[in-house]
A and B are shown apart, each in its own frame.
Chain A
């Protein structure tokens, strides 16, 4: 295999595994910037994966490839609706953010597998989707010499979209009034309130955006990697995304970069076999490496990661 082919394989596999993490980590960023801790990302991904799979299974024959893309939207919307639970609990009912998020992670798999059993005669997993997202080549860009072949041939389009959305999020987060308000609510809700900013309103936006992006991430996972829904479709990706968000210091670009790093790490056991010289290293090292590297890098280079100041604090208006 030539060097470019090897690089192409590595990059496209990495991108496929990164896409769900990028979306979900971006979701986490919005929620936590508005001051609501979101450990329920895993649950939101599960709901997104489940709803999108059910959608594609029922409508794929009629809609063709469009079904897979629409399914992503459906996954996002369902994740958004599910995150309402977290929003109401934390914003209106003063719930502990971590407990409420942990509840989402408990309820989501239970409800989704429960419904799967009802829809599919007691089976705990859905049939396989015929029409996944798969990989494709971006026509205009593949003409670029060398890079075109490495980056844009048989690549994951959704991952590129995720990266573009991350850049947009970064712009939105630092350059628009809307998100300035959202961030102020996460840093100092009392001060924001005195300036006439509606704290609850912006926190709802933060949580619902995270639900949408988390659901979208779960849908991408189901549509491009597992191709069906079962209890193991989402196994820890939500927590990985949470880690990516903290690793990226609550910044969209940082979270995206960390998510791509985790994507590379997750694809290591698969691509390790293609890389000459690495093929006879025991696969346990590839499996463990991403997690160990994260811990070491965090400990040595980043140290104390400081989130938004009012992250996780309920804002109770004084009378």
Chain B
């Protein structure tokens, strides 16, 4: 048990350090000061109550899209549709908040969040159903549904929600907003909202689901060996659909919380939201552990928020942040290289499962 914990922490830490080293080397090559830039990054993400609030707020959608990806991955499916599901969730929540604004406060929030999450769930359940009954590769269907979501939401916003000639919907009423004066005053008027607390709770729920429930056990068994699970009497079809449904509900919830707490409206966008893909990276860094996702989303969020201030205080392009995050995940992928190095220096280390999942 100790060995397992050791490996779960050592490789991510080595990868994170290596990722930052790669970023530093690139900055040095192009004549930027890595120490100064990383310093700005740190100040921009944790330098004060406001930046901490922003970093925590930005974690919310990352946690939820990552959890969504983790649930499908544990079941052995590759749900690239996080972006589309997030977008549908955002859309669903804002539509309800705008159209049913006569509902009483708390009730309106709950209905809005639920409709967003459900819309995200429906979106990925389509892929789950097709996979379970027709055997269609979920990789293709989720990619295709991403684009359908993008064009549909753009169309709906432009024709149903926005005023003539505008590209954004109206702002939702204050009672539907997840922003809170309490959280804002704690973090000197950052945009931190209740969604963050909810996201942390969902992490805990998914951890319990994976590790302490029968359904979660079945999900993981099917991910490890579908046929063996079937012989053991598990209902593979039902679990596939359920896994994809939960995965989409989580990503949709991410969109709903971001829509109600962060954006407060919805606009036409040219491309799919990046957060769906970032969520995949967050989940991979945490090796699909729901509690690990909290830590890895904190890192990603800090890099993103800090990266914004990096370009303000220095002239290094912000893209360096994405290079660092990309490199971190690359090092996670090639952890076998670290194993070789550790072996070479005869550091005692236990045998790890190399296959990954």
Contact = CB atoms under 8 A, between A and B. Distances in A.
Interface of A: 39, 85, 89, 93-96, 98-100, 102-103, 105-107, 109-111, 113-114, 117-118, 122, 232, 235-236, 239-240, 242-243, 246-247, 282, 284, 287-288, 291-292, 294-295, 298-300, 302-305, 314, 316
B148 A292 contact: yes
A111 B336 contact: no
B334 A288 contact: no
B134 A247 contact: no
16 contacts: A89-B334, A93-B333, A93-B334, A94-B354, A103-B333, A107-B323, A243-B139, A243-B143, A246-B137, A288-B152, A294-B140, A295-B136, A295-B144, A299-B130, A305-B136, A314-B355
Given A242-B139, A284-B155, 15 more contacts: A89-B333, A89-B334, A93-B333, A94-B354, A98-B78, A100-B333, A102-B280, A103-B330, A106-B277, A106-B329, A107-B326, A246-B139, A282-B155, A284-B151, A303-B136
Contacts of B145: 291, 295
Contacts of B267: none
Contact of A246 (B140, B151, B321, B326): B140
Contact of A111 (B270, B272, B323): B323
A106 B326 contact: yes
A106 B334 contact: no
Interface residues on B, range: 35 or more
Interface of B: 26, 30, 78, 80, 130, 134-137, 139-141, 143-148, 151-152, 154-155, 270-272, 277, 280-281, 284, 315, 317, 319-323, 325-327, 329-330, 332-334, 336-337, 354-357
A246 to B, nearest CB: 5
B78 A105 contact: no
A28 to B, nearest CB: 12
A185 B155 CA distance: 46
A114 B144 CA distance: 29
Contacts of A287: 147, 151, 155
A111 B333 contact: no
B192 to A, nearest CB: 27
Instruction: Among B139, B141, B334, find the residue whose CB has the most chain A CB atoms closer than 10 A.
Output: B334
A55 B78 CA distance: 37
A284 B329 contact: no
Contact of A103 (B141, B144, B272, B326): B326
A100 B148 contact: no
Majority DSSP secondary structure for residues of B touching A = helix
Given A239-B143, A294-B144, A114 B319 contact: yes
Contact of A94 (B154, B323, B325, B336): B336
A259 to B, nearest CB: 14
Contacts of B280: 102
Given A236-B272, A243-B140, A117 B277 contact: no
B281 A102 contact: yes
Contacts of A114: 26, 317, 319-320, 323
Contacts of B326: 103, 106-107, 110
Instruction: Among B30, B137, B280, find the residue whose CB has the most chain A CB atoms closer than 10 A.
Output: B137
A22 B247 CA distance: 32
Contact of B134 (A89, A103, A113, A299): A299
Pairs of residues from A and B, 7 with the lowest C-beta to C-beta distance, nearest first: A304-B135, A110-B322, A106-B326, A107-B326, A284-B155, A95-B333, A114-B319
Given A89-B330, A103-B333, A107-B330, A284 B152 contact: yes
B270 to A, nearest CB: 6
Given A232-B271, A287-B151, A305 B144 contact: no
A39 B284 CA distance: 15
Given A105-B277, A122-B315, A288-B152, A100 B330 contact: yes
A1 to B, nearest CB: 27
Instruction: Among B136, B152, B280, B336, find the residue whose CB has the most chain A CB atoms closer than 10 A.
Output: B136
A113 B334 CA distance: 25
Nearest to B356: A96
A20 to B, nearest CB: 16
A242 B321 CA distance: 27
A110 B319 contact: yes
